[in-house]
A = this chain, B = another copy of it.
């Protein structure tokens, strides 16, 4: 299958690599910035282009992997007839591609990608969608080559999956950043927390998070909570986050007990 990859960011980079490893051919990599296009295209033995008019009309699949807000304007300029066009966004509906082609779909890999860090694509869930059963099958067959965990869900469910991922990944990472700031202010090394963080993620690979919740909030240890709030008094933002999350832990705990 001949694929044109539109985009050169983290998702495009990892998808390109995974497709190539799965034996697909990336014929072109498009990016607004030709240097970015070249950087990725070179590793994929693909042609680098930065003009949307240079996109080949003879590929089998067009993957739009750009920032959410850039999908629609980019797709509107794509003139490839009724070829299969997909985007890779969790938070964008299928309908953003309406009118671009009669064959549209979504190919959303649920993972946090950094260019420099390899990931095992076999374990990454891929949420797919298409506007016809035939193209669902086409997209599924491509996704199955990359991952063991392909699921077909509609745009609403995909958006829920995406917002859940924001809590589980983006916000989690920010809590790590907050903890690092707190340590830095006291000349303590972030290395001290790395084993704890690894174990926190490790624990819920086999357990439900609710069942392994620890800390002062779930114990309703008001004295410790108050002492922590007092320690954070100089930083109203952190104090507020501390209070909200502690309250939310208490609330969830009460709901499950009730």
A interface list, Cβ under 8 A from B: 10, 67-69, 91, 110-114, 117, 119, 123-125, 149, 151, 153, 156-157, 159-183, 185-186, 188, 190, 192-210, 212-219, 221, 223-224, 227-228, 231-232, 237, 240-242, 244-245, 247-249, 251-252
Given contacts A68-B224, A91-B227, A170-B214, 10 further A-B contacts (CB under 8 A): A114-B207, A114-B214, A156-B186, A160-B183, A162-B228, A163-B232, A168-B196, A173-B200, A173-B214, A241-B245
Chain B residues contacting A110 (CB-CB under 8 Å) are 192-193, 195-196
Question: Which listed residue (B124, B161, B169) contacts A188, Cβ 8 A?
Answer: B161
**Identical chains bound together, number:** 2
Q: Looking across the interface, which residue of chain B has its beta carbon closest to that of A187?
A: B157
Tell me the smallest distance from the CB of A51 to a CB of chain B, in Å: 25
Is the contact region of chain A dominated by helix, strand, or loop, or is it mixed? helix
Known: A174-B209, A210-B177. A199 touches B119 (CB 8 A): yes
Question: Which listed residue (B114, B167, B221) contacts A178, Cβ 8 A?
Answer: B167
Q: Give the distance in Å from the alpha carbon of A197 to the alpha carbon of B169 in the complex.
A: 6
Query: Could you pull out 9 A-B pairs where Cβ atoms are within 8 angstroms?
Result: A91-B224, A112-B196, A159-B231, A168-B179, A173-B212, A176-B204, A177-B213, A197-B201, A240-B244
Q: Give the distance in Å from the alpha carbon of A172 to the alpha carbon of B219 in the complex.
A: 16
Q: Give the distance in Å from the alpha carbon of A149 to the alpha carbon of B251 in the complex.
A: 36
Q: Give the distance in Å from the alpha carbon of A110 to the alpha carbon of B197 in the complex.
A: 10
Q: Give the distance in Å from the alpha carbon of A203 to the alpha carbon of B112 in the complex.
A: 9
Say yes or no: A167 contacts B196, CB within 8 Å. no
Chain B residues contacting A161 (CB-CB under 8 Å) are 183, 186, 188, 192
Say yes or no: A164 contacts B179, CB within 8 Å. yes
Known: A151-B192, A224-B68, A248-B237. A213 touches B174 (CB 8 A): yes
Q: Give the distance in Å from the alpha carbon of A207 to the alpha carbon of B123 in the complex.
A: 22
Say yes or no: A123 contacts B167, CB within 8 Å. no
Chain B residues contacting A169 (CB-CB under 8 Å) are 193, 196-197, 199-200, 214-215
